[in-house]
Amino acid sequence: MEDWAPIGAGLAIGAGALGPGLGIGMLAGKAMEALGRNPDAADAIRQNMILAIAFTEAIAIYALVVAIITLFV
């Protein structure tokens, strides 16, 4: 195999998306538990959940950028 860039890019995005995927799943599950225990705090829980999901998703975007750079540089 002459060019290892596609394999490296695939590994970068695969490993880089694994953590955020698990993190968002755990975060959403805990948010649903919190809503079940205290429905009156739905607004605060939703606001914090969306903020945490945005930060977690940023990590996946960094992995995507690394994969794209690996392919084209």
Give the CA distances from residue 39 to residues 8, 16, 35, 46, in Å, rounded to whole numbers and listed in that order. Answer: 45, 34, 5, 11
Q: What is the radius of gyration, based on Cα positions, of the chain?
A: 17
Tell me the average pLDDT across 9-34.
94
DSSP H or E stretch at residue 8: helix 5-37
Q: Examine residue 54 and state whether it is found in any structural domain, yes or no.
A: yes
pLDDT tens by residue, 35-73: 999 999 999 999 999 999 999 999 999 999 999 999 988
pLDDT of 1 strictly over 70:
no
Number of domains forming the structure of the chain:
1
Q: What's the confidence (pLDDT) of residue 73?
A: 84
Look up tokens 């829980």; give the residue.
45
Residue 15 is assigned to a structural domain of this protein: no
* Owning domain of residue 54: 21-72
Mean pLDDT, the chain, whole residue set: 93
